[in-house]
Amino acid sequence: MKMKSVLMASVFAGVAGAAIAEGEVVVMSWGGAYEKSQVEAYNKPFAAETGITVNMVAADNPATPLKAQVEAGNVTVDVADVEFSDAVRLCDEGLLEPIDHSILPPGDDGTPAAEDFLDGALQDCAVANIVWSTAVAYNTANVDGTPTTMADFFDTEAFPGKRGLRKSAKATLEMALMGDGVPAGEVYDMLGTQEGIDRAFAKLDTIKGDIVWWEAGAQPAQLLADGEVAMSTAYNGRIFNAQVAEGQPFEIMWDGQILDYDLFVIPKGAKNLDNALKYIAYSTDTKRLADQASWISYGPARKSSAAYVGLYSDGVTEMGPHMPTSPEALQNALVNDFEFWVDMDAELNERFNAWLAQ
C-alpha cells in the first residue's frame, strides 16, 4: 500500500513536472559567488516578472558538459555561461543556436544594442554579460612595498617570495612579455613570431624555480592567504570576494591585467528555446547588468550600465575601483585575443607543457 502511494505520488510529480516544464529555463553557470550574483541580479527578477521558473545548475566549465550533451542528443540545459574562446569554438562546430541580436533591448539611454555592447561582446551565437580579468594580486602582509608594474611580478629580488601562475600558456605568456617591458598593445604581434615566443619563455625561465602553478580559480586566494606565494595571478572577482567578504589584506595590481568576456549561449536542441531567448534578452539589459555588478566585481558588458554601478551588496563598498573596467585599471590592460588563441592554443600549450616538463 505504502509502495503504491509512493509510486502514485511520483507519477503525479512527474506529470506536474512536465506541466511546469513549459514555463522553465535551465541555466548552467560556474557556481560560487558568480552564480549567486546571477541568481540575485537576473533570475529572481526574471522569475517575478515573467512567471518562468529559472533552474540554475553549476559546472566547472559549462562548455564541457554542453558539448557532451549536444553530441549525445540529450540536451537538458537551455542557457549556458561560457568563456569567449569556447563560445566561438562551439559556434563554429555547429553546437549552438544562432542568436538574433534584434531581440536585445536598446540601452536605457536609447543606444541600439549593437552599439551599446562593448566591442566583440555580441557574437553570432553568444551575448556577453560580464567582463572579467586575470590580474596580479598580492598579500600586503607578505610583500614589502607596492608592486606597480608587471616587471615587479617577475622581479624576485625586489619583491622576494614565490609567484602563483595558472598552469596554462594562455595569459602566462602574455604576462611574461609585459613583464619584459612589451606594451600591452604589441603583445599579440610579438607572440605571433618565433622570437616573441622565445622571449616569453626566456622571461619565465628567470622565475621558473619560484613558481607555484594553480589550476582551479579558488586556489590563488588560498595560496595568498597561506603565505605559500607572495603574489599570484588570479581572477579579479575571487580576490574581491576574499578582500570584502573575508577581510583578507589582498591588493590587486591592475597593470598588465588581461580582460575576457563571459557569454550566454544556447545549445542546439535546447528544450525551452523561447524562454532561453527571453532570459538572455532580459538578463543583458542595462539595469540587470549594472545590478549584477553590485554582487561581484565583474564589469558589465554594456556601456550604458557603467553609470548605474554603485555600492556592493554590503551597502558600504564602492564598486567602481574594484571593476576591471574602471579607468585606472584600464591604463595598461590587454584584451584577450580569442582568435590568436584558438589558432595557437595547440602549438603554444604543447611547447608550454614541454617547457614545464624540462
The CB-of-322 to another protein minimum distance in angstroms stands at: 28
357 binds another protein (CB under 8 A): yes
Q: Are 165 and 142 in contact (CB under 8 A)?
A: no
- Helix boundaries (H) for the chain: 2-21, 32-38, 44-50, 63-72, 84-92, 113-116, 150-153, 169-179, 187-191, 194-205, 219-226, 236-244, 273-283, 286-292, 338-357
59 binds another protein (CB under 8 A): no
What DSSP state is assigned to residue 105? P
Interface mask (CB under 8 A) for another protein, residues 156-185, using x and -? ------x----xx-----------------
Q: Which range in 9-17, 226-234, 244-252, 320-328 contacts another protein by CB under 8 A?
A: 226-234
49 binds another protein (CB under 8 A): no
Closest CA to 297 of 347, 252, 248, 357: 252
CB atoms within 10 A of CB 319: 21
Nearer to another protein, 246 or 350 (CB): 350
Residues 199-218 that bind another protein (CB under 8 A): 208, 211-213, 215
347 binds another protein (CB under 8 A): yes
109 binds another protein (CB under 8 A): no
User: Any idea of the CA torsion for 124, 127, 133, 134, to the nearest 10 degrees?
Assistant: -50
Q: Which residues contact 27 (CB under 8 A, 6 or more apart)?
A: 38, 43, 54, 55, 56, 57, 77, 78, 79, 80, 81, 279
Phi, psi dihedral angles at 96 (to 5 degrees)? -120, 155
Residues 267-326 that bind another protein (CB under 8 A): 268-269
228 binds another protein (CB under 8 A): yes
238 binds another protein (CB under 8 A): no
The CB-of-242 to another protein minimum distance in angstroms stands at: 17
343 binds another protein (CB under 8 A): yes
67 binds another protein (CB under 8 A): yes
Binder among 70, 126, 171, 231 for another protein (CB under 8 A): 70
- Helix boundaries (H) for 155-272: 169-179, 187-191, 194-205, 219-226, 236-244
Please count the helices (runs of H) and the strands (runs of E) in the chain. 15, 11
Q: Which range in 12-20, 284-292, 300-308, 342-350 contacts another protein by CB under 8 A?
A: 342-350
Q: Which range in 87-95, 151-159, 232-240, 316-324 contacts another protein by CB under 8 A?
A: 87-95
Phi, psi dihedral angles at 256 (to 5 degrees)? 75, 15
Binder among 15, 18, 94, 195 for another protein (CB under 8 A): 94
Q: How far apart are CA 190 and CA 284, in angstroms?
A: 35
Nearer to another protein, 28 or 290 (CB): 28
Nearer to another protein, 253 or 344 (CB): 344
356 binds another protein (CB under 8 A): yes
The CB-of-84 to another protein minimum distance in angstroms stands at: 14
**112's grid cell:** 541600439
Grid look-up 541568481 returns 39
**342's grid cell:** 584558438
Footprint on this chain of another protein (rule: CB under 8 A): 61, 64, 67, 70-71, 73, 88-89, 91-95, 162, 167-168, 208, 211-213, 215, 226-228, 268-269, 339, 342-351, 353-357
